[in-house]
Structure 1
Amino acid sequence: MPTSHLRIVAAPQGAQEDDRPDAGTSQLAFPATLQRYEGGRLAYHKDSIAVEAPLRLQVEGVLDTTLSRTPGDDMNLVAGHLFSLNMIRGSEDLSNVTFNYRGRTRVSVVLKTTGAMRRLFPSPRPVRVRAERLFDFKETFERRQNLFKSTGSTHAAALFSASGEMIAFGEDVGRHNAFDKAIGRSLLEGTLDEVAIAMLSSRLALELAVKAQAANIPILCGFSAATSSGIDYAERNNLTLVGRLRNGSFYLYSNGWRILS
């Protein structure tokens, strides 16, 4: 993130020389021995538990909130969260970002301009995708869900180009956090304009549709169903909503003209 000042007071335990908050060096899961009921009896079973920890986010004079998240990708999470709140348009709007990992994790952000940002987008891109390609994207998506495979308790979000290239990926115990991490990575790497499809492991609720529209992503896919408010918002804002994506089937909720059979 060359256009802002990033400072780390104390890196996460075990971090390497590349001590960026998005370096993914924090512990994401820990081993546990549980009791599991199967075949009519209880037995001890080794498992992995996803880590959920608070990150206090303070934006000078504007915001003080706590995000309950999976550690790692913290810079992407902060950037994506502030972007979704219309507080930044890009890394150039961040004057200073200071992470402190001593005790309770917190991050302090100074913005170059406070207040809501008005983002001007180009005309909607004429994106159209073959229906069968969505299953290819889903397969690529699921191969990246490493934390979910070991814990079974995380959500994920992936951003794809129209050609199927995975541009960004985020995984977190929170579905909003996962989407923010993916958007934040793409924003900071300058690739957000290339994104045509966002794919989520979660249901398609209103807040997630708003995030997709804020990032000018024309197609939003989810493994679960859409909510009524999510569908209403998508219809009003020219967002194609695809839900209940399975192997070989899905539902089209709005603006289906972008999906070709």
Structure 2
Amino acid sequence: MIKKVFVKKVQQSGKEISQKQDVVAIEEPLEINLKSNGGKIFPVSVTMRTPGNDEELAVGFLHTEAILFSRKNIEQEIPSNLGFNWITINLSENFDPNIEKLKRNFYTSSSCGVCGKESIEAIHQTRRIPAEIVDIEVNLETLFSLPEELYKVQKTFQSTGGIHAAAFFSTDGKLISYREDVGRHNALDKLIGAEFLKSSKEAFFLQENILLLSGRASFELLQKAAMAGIQMVCAIGAPSSLAIETAENFGITLIGFLKNGSFNIYTNAERVKNLG
């Protein structure tokens, strides 16, 4: 979503000043709540996001924070309760997570003060392992093509220049889905949430999708990728040291500085074919 604003445009080192209409990405808070099967509502998180796809954002966030593991964990009706800048997701009758424990152990990003080793160990403790691990291989030329394919559909970024994107591709380079948001972690939660809501599996994993990030690869994005079982993460920008450590710990192929003709492979290069 975008908003029209008026700006003074300064050019030619201040010699040329004009007033023009511009567009910016909208940023508003979203409060995410859970409703237990006993009827009690628990506030889980408040995130600053671009309005739209809030249901996907909520369930994607709840999955990557190890609260939801399957579409069957929540009621069929989505959203359960949706208001202005808040959403409540109803848990299904046969699913009763220890919400108080989740609240005590909750963290959202590498900026929250949790040290790297504790953060990675927390993911190990909460992440479920798929019954069948499907490994993937991707051609070199396929990877080179991904940034351009994402840019073609980034309509909000093209109009505002101030928004992040995350996209899933098949191993042959076909775009599966993408989402945009002012927050890079929100864009990924929306993307994962969209696939989560379509899944009918007992345990939700995205083992066969390539994830492309429009910016840098931070720890919280690799944490979310690990929780969703993603095996290959590509970023247009740079990874952080903890992102690399997380990728190494969970067997994720991490690629950074991806553009047409070049990229860096930081972990598990064996999944990239035709390296020479």
* TM-score w.r.t. length of structure 1: 0.83
**1:77-116 paired onto structure 2 within 5 Å:** 77-95=57-75, 97-101=79-83, 104-112=84-92, 113-115=96-98
Name the structure 2 match of 1:141: 150
Structure with more helix by fraction? 2
**1:117-132 paired onto structure 2 within 5 Å:** 119-132=128-141
Matches of 1:233 and 1:45 in 2, distance apart?
A: 45
Q: State the secondary structure of the residue aligned to 2:80.
A: strand
Tell me the amino acid that sits aligned with residue 51 of structure 1.
I
Name the structure 1 match of 2:111: none
* CA 1:196–1:98: 2 relative to 1, 3 Å: closer
**1:177-216 paired onto structure 2 within 5 Å:** 177-190=186-199, 193=206, 195-216=208-229
Cα offset, 1:174, TM superposition: 0.3
Cα offset, 1:194, TM superposition: 6.3
Matches of 1:194 and 1:230 in 2, distance apart?
A: 19
Cα offset, 1:193, TM superposition: 4.0
Q: State the secondary structure of the residue aligned to 2:223.
A: helix
Name the structure 2 match of 1:30: 3
Query: Alignment identity in percent?
Result: 32
Question: Contact conserved, 1:55 with 1:107, CA < 8 A, in 2?
Answer: yes
Cα offset, 1:118, TM superposition: 5.7
Query: Equivalent of 2:46, from 56, 62, 66?
Result: 66
**1:164-183 paired onto structure 2 within 5 Å:** 164-183=173-192
Deviations 1:27-80 (A, max 9, x none): x10111211222223222321011111111111354432121111111111110
Matches of 2:91 and 2:172 in 1, distance apart?
A: 35
* TM-score w.r.t. length of structure 2: 0.78
Cα offset, 1:136, TM superposition: 1.7
Matches of 1:196 and 1:98 in 2, distance apart?
A: 28
Number of positions where the alignment pairs a residue of Structure 1 with one of Structure 2: 232
Query: Which runs of 5 or more structure 2 residues have no equivalent in the other structure?
Result: 36-40, 103-125
Name the structure 2 match of 1:226: 239
Deviations 1:235-261 (A, max 9, x none): 121100000112211111111111122
Deviations 1:82-132 (A, max 9, x none): 11011111221113643333xx42111222322367633134322111111
Name the structure 1 match of 2:23: 48
Query: Equivalent of 1:152, from 151, 161, 166?
Result: 161
Question: Contact conserved, 1:84 with 1:180, CA < 8 A, in 2?
Answer: yes
Structure 1 vs Structure 2 CA RMSD? 1.9
Matches of 2:189 and 2:245 in 1, distance apart?
A: 22
Structure with more strand by fraction? 1
Query: Which runs of 5 or more structure 1 residues have no equivalent in the other structure?
Result: 1-27
Matches of 1:56 and 1:69 in 2, distance apart?
A: 10
Matches of 1:203 and 1:94 in 2, distance apart?
A: 32
